[in-house]
Amino acid sequence: MTAGQRLTCTWAVAGRRTGRLTIVGDLDYDHADEINRVLVENLGAHPGLRAVHLDCAEVAFCDSYGLAALLMAHRHIRGVGARLHLDNLQPGLTRLLELTRTLEYLTAEAAPSRAEKFDT
């Protein structure tokens, strides 16, 4: 997909412990890297965060590259000791996260250990 909408990411801090990244646009091959650029910049500027919310209310489309960006965001947020929350997931994105079984992993309390694996 090359004809996606531009992606804008807006960072805000609520208190000293919580960050919020509002994502508007398409999480696709051409744009998804933007969330990690903004995240890395702000995670560095705000040490001590405990939670980072990604507000996905306005995510119109997410392809596999967008999902890779979310997984990378998860890595960055975990890296500073915070927990990732995905807010206002729209049906399309929820479906993608369920299809790939990444939803639990992305929003888990702590890093999933071998004991917690969602085996079947």
Partner 1 sequence: MTEPEHATSAAVLEIDARIDTAPYPAVVADAAGIVQALNRAARTLLPDVRVGETLTATAPGWLAESHATLAADPTPGPSPGGAAQGWVDRRSLEGHPVRHDDGTVTWWLVDDTDTRLAREALRTEQARTAFLTEVSTALLGSLNLQRCMETTVTLATVNLCDAAIVMAPAGRGGRYPTVTAVRGGEVVHDVLDVDAEEVPGLAEALQGFPPVPSRWLDPMSVPEWLRPTGFGEVGSIVVTPLPGHGVPAGALILVRGAGAAEFSEEEEVVARLFATRAGVAMSAARMYDQQASITETLMRDLLPPTVHQLSGVEFAARYRAAQDGDRIGGDFYDVHPASEEDEESLVVLGDVCGKGLDAAVLTGKIRSTLHALLPLADDHLRMLRLLNGALLNTHDARFATLVLASVARDGAGVRLRLTCGGHPAPLVVRADGRVEEAPTRGTLIGAMPDVGATTAELTLGPGETCLMYTDGITEAKGGPFGDELFGEHRLHRALGECAGMPAEAVVERVQMLASQWLGRGAHDDMAVLAITAPRGQHLTAVGGHGRGRYTA
Q: Which of 28, 25, 30 lies closest to 5, judged by CA?
A: 25
Q: Contact residues for partner 1 (CB under 8 A)? A: 1-3, 29, 61, 63-65, 67-69, 71-72, 74-75, 98-102, 105, 112, 114, 116-120
Instruction: Identify the residue whose tokens are 């309390």.
Output: 109
Neighbours of 46 (CB within 10 A): 17
Minimum CB separation from partner 1 for residue 23, in Å? Answer: 17
Please, which residue, 48 or 113, has the CB nearer to partner 1?
Answer: 113
Two tokens, residue 48: 């001590």
Going by their DSSP bridges, the two strands 18-27 and 8-14 should be labelled as: antiparallel
Please, which residue, 18 or 90, has the CB nearer to partner 1?
Answer: 90
Minimum CB separation from partner 1 for residue 41, in Å? Answer: 18
**E strand or H helix at 93, and its extent?**
helix 91-99
Two tokens, residue 106: 């992305």
Minimum CB separation from partner 1 for residue 65, in Å? Answer: 5
Minimum CB separation from partner 1 for residue 48, in Å? Answer: 25
